[in-house]
Amino acid sequence: MDCTWITAYRTGAASALSAKYLARPDSKTLGIIGCGVQGRTHTEAMTTMFPIERLYAYDILPSAQEKFIAEMGAKFPKIEFVPATHPREVVIQSEIVVTAGPILKNPSPTIEKDWLQPGAFATALDFDSYWKGEALQQIDKFTTDDLAQMEYYRTLGYFKETPQPYADLGEIVAGKKPGRQSPTERSMAMNLGLAMDDMAVAPTIYQKAKEMGLGVWLPL
């Protein structure tokens, strides 16, 4: 099966799972930086998990930002969608922040120290491309989904100013390490993506397809 759709949604689901353990459960403001596919799936995932009332959206392309707000605003009419003119507006006002820009090996980060408010949670889909080292060093609980994969990327020249993770997502979900312990903790999930997540979703989609009579058998 085509994994493009699966990857789009399981990425949002993995971030929401991280947020379940690391974000404040009463978080009402969501910030989306990067109004593409991941901005959309993360909006769906986070609004499923949290009582979001206001969403701040930013994209370097005004047309992408406008389209995102129009589409998501129609899908979630009870949420107030606020267009931002700079990433700072998004970060400083949001209790949950999603950065979904391109992954760059040698980035010029935008998000600075003190922008992420105490108690806020962030998920960085674009590795450290949007976050300056000083901002990352302020994170009280920094996590990823695969410690070995992050170390491998470090050998390739990524994550030059990124701190060592406190835990991986599996350790937190399994209760081996605690998630949020204080209402003022800054937390972040920098999940890199696992094919295992796709494989976990695929059987459910396959069963649904069989029940609905969809799909085509292919000779291998």
Let me know if residue 202 belongs to a domain. Answer: yes
Which pTM value belongs to this model?
0.91
What's the pLDDT at 3? 75
Let me know if residue 219 belongs to a domain. Answer: no
> Which is higher by pLDDT, 111 or 219?
111
Let me know if residue 217 belongs to a domain. Answer: no
DSSP state of 107: -
Tell me which residue range forms the domain holding 119. Answer: 3-212
Helices 37-49/3-22 angle, 10° precision? 40
Strand-pair partners of 204: none
Distance between CA atoms of residues 91 and 73, nearest Å: 20
**Nearest in space to 97 (alpha carbons), one of 39, 41, 146:** 39
Let me know if residue 218 belongs to a domain. Answer: no
What's the pLDDT at 6? 85
- Judge contact between 121 and 95, C-beta under 8 A: yes
Let me know if residue 91 belongs to a domain. Answer: yes
Distance between CA atoms of residues 23 and 4, nearest Å: 27
Both tokens of 74, joined, read 């129609």
User: What's the one-letter identity of residue 116?
Assistant: L
Distance between CA atoms of residues 193 and 188, nearest Å: 15
Q: Does pLDDT of 2 surpass 80? A: no
Distance between CA atoms of residues 67 and 70, nearest Å: 5
- Considering its fold, how many domains does the chain have in total? 1
Q: pLDDT, tens digit, for every residue of 20-66?
A: 999 999 999 999 999 999 999 999 999 999 999 999 999 999 999 99
Q: Does pLDDT of 70 surpass 90? A: yes
What's the pLDDT at 37? 95
Let me know if residue 51 belongs to a domain. Answer: yes
Let me know if residue 150 belongs to a domain. Answer: yes
Q: Does pLDDT of 140 surpass 90? A: yes
CB atoms within 10 A of CB 44: 15
Let me know if residue 29 belongs to a domain. Answer: yes
CATH number, domain containing residue 51: 3.40.50.720
